[in-house]
Amino acid sequence: MTAAILPASKNPAKGIWLMVAAVAAFAAQDGFAKHLAAEYSTMMIIMIRYWVFAGFVILLALRRPEGPSAAIRSSRLWAHLVRSGLLVAEICLIVWGYTLIGLINSHAVFAVCPLLIVALSGPILGERIVWQRWAAVAAGMTGVLIILRPGSGVFSWAALLPFASALLFALYSVLTRLTTRDEPTFPAFFWPGVIGAVLMTAIGLPHLKPMIPQDMAFLAAYCALSIFSHWLLLKCYEQIEAARVQPYAYLQIVFVTLIGLTIYGEALELPVAIGTLVIVAAGLYALSLERRPA
């Protein structure tokens, strides 16, 4: 998720509250995704979501002051194609994970994503990674092992779905940094929505089937939240720098846990809670290193 980020904060307090609202909307969106994907094909649900989101980014392009053609122009369409494929696969895997191991366990493992971005930034972007960052990555991976508990008899292959999703999203994010080094950020936001809609149509159209009215209402809410959450994120980054507001993004785990506990009757097991705390602490530490002056 990329937005036009201003160099200095305009209204930090407003930006923080917009981020909190955004992650709450993302959590609610995930709650609807779990229900819908359990009743219908994951491919169909994601396809329709992409249709709506593609319409959203096209509307944004049409409203750009420089004109739509200039707004979406990019010299790195190949990179946007790769990013689109990564994002499509990431969304499908995480939603599939919701149906198999639940929201709480899926997001507990997915929380390692920011640390994977740190690890990949060195070999792909050529960024210098100090030993403290590698220590944070190692601590985060320890948290994942605490959650997965390999060899304990409770591990299942489905637990690898959110980890694979986190790895794919980390690759997507690093490639986003690469594509926005020497061109505006809007094409990096626009093309995954449009290309992703084309890809998901090819994959999901064979799975299209009728829905009952209640689930159609849930699907409408799911798609609306997809747009609303991204809109909130865009407005957030208009008010405050991304680095300053990122710690509040971890509140999504809290909101998702509440939805899992109250709506779906999921259980928060002690190893999952401990592992998540380890991952979040490692992520916050890595973020603090990002914000230190060189």
pLDDT of res. 8: 52
Range from 54-58, 74-78, 146-150, 248-252 that averages highest in pLDDT? 54-58
Rounded distance between C-alpha atoms, residue 89 and residue 266, angstroms: 25
- In the chain, the percentage of residues whose pLDDT exceeds 70 is 93
Q: Which two tokens stand for residue 60?
A: 């944004």
**Residue 9 banded pLDDT, cuts 50, 70, 90:** low
pTM of this prediction?
A: 0.85
**b/e per residue 65-81 (b: at least 16 CB within 10 A):** eeeeeebbebebeebbe
**Residue 290 banded pLDDT, cuts 50, 70, 90:** low
